[in-house]
A and B are shown apart, each in its own frame.
Chain A
Amino acid sequence: MATVTYDNATRIYPGADGPSVDKLNIDIQDGEFLVLVGPSGSGKSTALRMLAGLEEVNEGRILIGDRDVTNLSPKDRDVAMVFQNYALYPHMSVADNMGFALKIAGVSKTEIRSRVEEAAKILDLTQYLDRKPKALSGGQRQRVAMGRAIVRSPQVFLMDEPLSNLDAKLRVQTRTQIASLQRRLGVTTVYVTHDQVEAMTMGDRVAVLKDGILQQLDTPRRMYDHPNNVFVAGFIGSPAMNLLEEPIRDGGVQLGSIVHPVEQSKLAKAEKTAIVGIRPEDLEPTTEGGIPVEVDVVEELGADAYIYGRTTVGNQPGDTQLAGSDDEKQIVARVDGRNVPDKGQTIHFKPKGQGDHLHLFNPESGERIES
């Protein structure tokens, strides 16, 4: 078991305009489940491969425990890239399917047997050890494949979108299994996904990357409640956070016809306008004015419903900065499932509470405005 340290680790591909991974700094604790998440091309796989020894590190270092592995070959790093494509061999028992690779590595028979039994216990496969894979269900086969990785007992597990070739149902099932398995094994794990839901449900901490640059490294809770910048705010959470550029007024921000109160300390750091972030569940209907929303779609989920609509209030970040333009903006709000508006209806929304459910970002830098 081990910690993992990215110390200003940088990867520049020959001929590329800039770094694909740019001065990455992450301290991963012993036994931690760290998820690297970000849109396609953000450098997640590259970062993982640098740790695995599959991609050169051009600047900076990578440590596993106290060992500088920056220039070690993959097999000298004691990490296991958990592969999504393990074959299952029809004539070999489940036990042999799990343990045969150790034979190649020269591990003794008794040691193999004990590691396989240990892994089988954790994977709930003990009673199948002497069967052939044919006799197993799809989910059990998937677990045998995981067993193959577990018995290697490396210092660090590395997984790159390991669920991408599973069907949707097995994906959700396996996601939960991997997370709980990792916790029981306590092996430091770095996991790459482009799916923020997967990241938020699995990780002890989540590292959000964009354009090769670490945007934020936090627990899922903290990431959700306290995004450091507009990118993270919009990327984490589903449906995404509403982001509107609004004028700053004395004592608050202008939201349609109302001025929503915000602490003075925050306002002091704001310029003339701020990007206001409000999660769909932090909006509530109001009759006292606020953000007018014309309802396009209602998605009923039972207890709740999501409303997808448009407003003419504010600029969405990325728009040309035309304050007061009448371009329409997307708004998503969560409402009580027993009390949903009709399509085409216009209702007003305001943030719940007193500014504590509001996120403010600098419209130029995109950075969070802190008190």
Chain B
Amino acid sequence: MALDITTARPWPALLDLPWRLPLEEWPEDRLAALPRGISRHVVRFVRLEGRVVAIKEIKDDIARREYAMLRMLRRLDQPAVEPIGVVSGRLTRDGEPLDACLLTRHLQFSLPYRAMLSQSLRPETATRLIDALAVLLVRLHLVGFWWGDVSLSNALFKRSAGEFSAYLVDAETGELQDRLSNGQREHDLDIARVNIAGELMDLQAGGYVDEDLDPIEVSDRIIQRYTVLWTELTEVERFDLGERWRVDERIRRLNALGFDVGELDITTDFDGATIQIQPKIVDAGHHSRRLLRLTGLDVEDNQARRLLNDLDSYRAAHDRQNDDEEQVAHDWLMQVYEPVTRTAPPEMRRKIEPAELFHEVLEHRWYMSEAAKRDFPIEEAARDYIAKVLPSKPDDSAVVGVDTAEMPVRART
């Protein structure tokens, strides 16, 4: 059997990797020591031509299925890791067959929950992670993806202006359908809750999180958050014809949650006295889409919300309410955003995403103002932040997390 490398785009450098060795035995100097979640398969990160590739050793058919599923999810614009390809037909030097490998692109600036939690022990960190996972699950369910293995380990998290956004990393058990039944959604939620509780209990048993964090209570939150979101995004609302403002109100609420309404079903009953509305198509990324349109910046939704707020303040401060929105945005980008995010010296820039840096500087300015009881220009806040705060920040791209051991289940060993 010959080595078979299936990729969407050809990448000859892949041929140089030591495919004849079991992933567990790959030489250290090829690997990137980045944190990982718990897994049953062996997963390693490799630096290749300036990129970091995540490699998972897994049965051929499952690898192909997962690869196809990840491609589909990307096509559906869902937050998931980017699939690179599948390598199969691997043999050891002695001719023993080895499992296939699924290759995905390492999600930059992302962290597995274990690293997030052990790094910042603030009690609300856990609940924010859950909130992000709830958003991810709702989004996936809306497009008909039945995950089957929802857990903190199977998601990756990125900082997003004081919140987190979650990405799907493990699509092994997923199925895509036209529409999920309530039973299927409940099933995913139930799995999520048990896995989250288990994952938190595990961290507690290892002494990585605070004793007063209650894993069961925190895990319950996934159900609450999910239910609130799902209801807001899908529920039918009825009201009198006179209360038409409630249509706008509903759309505003959805926008605030970060969703655009692509299609809203509005019907009146036969005497025309009551209106019934139900969102039919909703798309996440309300703020990030708007920011992208105005500035070309592609950032997480909550970061975008933050940047848009700053853009609004800029507009007010410069008394440009009547100017063309795009022109103002362009000026803000050139005069505020770019200079601030470029204040950081290059070696510190890999610690933090530009949009996240901008958010941190805004926060920092607020603290400075509180302390000094006066306003500060953002440039000054940026210099101060970069001198005093950023150097001592943990390097997200270099934390080697808590133990990230995998627990393979197989006949050998």
> Which residues in A have some Cβ–Cβ distance to B below 8 Å?
13-15, 49, 52-56, 73-75, 81, 83, 85, 87-92, 96, 100-101, 103-104, 133-134, 137-139, 141-142, 145, 164-167, 169-170, 173
Contacts and interface: CB of A to CB of B under 8 A. Distances in A.
Interface stretch (B119-127, B183-191, B239-247): B183-191
Contact of A89 (B59, B173, B205, B408): B205
Contacts of A75: 186, 190
Contact of A74 (B190, B197, B409): B190
A85 B410 CA distance: 13
A104 B216 contact: yes
B183 A53 contact: yes
Q: Which of A91, A92, A145 has the most chain B CB atoms closer than 10 A to its own CB?
A: A91
A275 to B, nearest CB: 33
Given A55-B181, A100-B197, A167 B411 contact: yes
22 contacts: A14-B179, A15-B178, A52-B187, A54-B184, A55-B183, A73-B186, A75-B190, A85-B173, A87-B407, A89-B201, A91-B202, A91-B206, A92-B202, A134-B405, A138-B413, A141-B407, A145-B409, A164-B62, A165-B62, A165-B172, A166-B409, A166-B410
Contacts of A74: 183, 186-187, 190
* 7 closest Cβ pairs, A-B complex: A91-B206, A89-B202, A170-B411, A169-B411, A91-B205, A54-B183, A138-B410
A145 B409 CA distance: 10
Given A90-B405, A92-B201, A138-B409, A104 B219 contact: yes
B403 interface: yes
B149 interface: yes
Interface in B388-412: 403, 405, 407-412
Contacts of A138: 408-413
B409 A89 contact: no
Contacts of A54: 181, 183-184, 187
Contacts of A104: 193-194, 197, 216, 219
B275 interface: no
A101 B148 CA distance: 17
Contacts of B410: 138, 166-167, 170
A78 to B, nearest CB: 14
A141 B191 CA distance: 20
B153 interface: yes
Contact of A85 (B40, B181, B198, B202): B40
B335 interface: no
B153 A87 contact: yes
B30 to A, nearest CB: 25
Interface string B155-198: 00000000000000000110000110111101100110111011
B38 interface: yes
Contacts of A90: 38, 202, 206, 403, 405, 407
Given A75-B190, A104-B216, A87 B181 contact: no
Contacts of B183: 49, 52-56, 73-74
A87 B199 CA distance: 9
Contacts of B173: 85
B257 interface: no
Interface in B22-36: none
B336 to A, nearest CB: 45
Contacts of B216: 103-104
B193 A73 contact: no
B403 A87 contact: no
Nearest to A171: B411
B205 A92 contact: yes
Contacts of A100: 197-198, 201
Contacts of B62: 164-165
B203 interface: yes
Contacts of B288: none
B151 interface: yes
B411 A173 contact: yes
Contact of A101 (B184, B198, B205): B198
Contacts of B191: 83
Contacts of A83: 191
B219 A85 contact: no
Nearest to A93: B205
A141 B410 CA distance: 9
Q: Which of A14, A92, A166 has the most chain B CB atoms closer than 10 A to its own CB?
A: A92
A164 B172 CA distance: 12
Given A101-B198, A104-B216, 11 more contacts: A81-B187, A85-B172, A87-B38, A87-B40, A87-B153, A92-B198, A96-B201, A103-B216, A134-B405, A165-B58, A165-B172
A178 to B, nearest CB: 14
A142 B216 CA distance: 25
A96 B205 contact: yes
Contacts of A88: 38, 40, 407, 409
Contacts of A139: 411
A145 B151 CA distance: 16
Contacts of A167: 59, 410-412
Contacts of B186: 73-75
A327 B392 CA distance: 80
Contacts of A89: 38, 198-199, 201-202, 205
Contacts of B409: 88, 138, 141-142, 145, 166, 170
Contacts of B178: 13-15
Contacts of B194: 101, 104
Contacts of B405: 90, 134
A260 B39 CA distance: 60
A167 B411 CA distance: 7
Interface string B4-40: 0000000000000000000000000000000000111
A96 B202 CA distance: 9
Contacts of B413: 137-138
Nearest to A138: B410
Contacts of B59: 165, 167
Nearest to A87: B38
Q: Which of B40, B182, B199 has the most chain A CB atoms closer than 10 A to its own CB?
A: B40
Contacts of B197: 100-101, 103-104
A247 to B, nearest CB: 44
Q: Which of B59, B191, B405, B409 has the most chain A CB atoms closer than 10 A to its own CB?
A: B409
Contacts of A133: 407
Contacts of B198: 87, 89, 92, 100-101
Contacts of A164: 62
Nearest to A133: B407
Contacts of A56: 181, 183
Contacts of A81: 187
A289 B336 CA distance: 95
Contacts of A169: 411
A103 B217 CA distance: 12
A190 B183 CA distance: 18
Contacts of A96: 201, 205
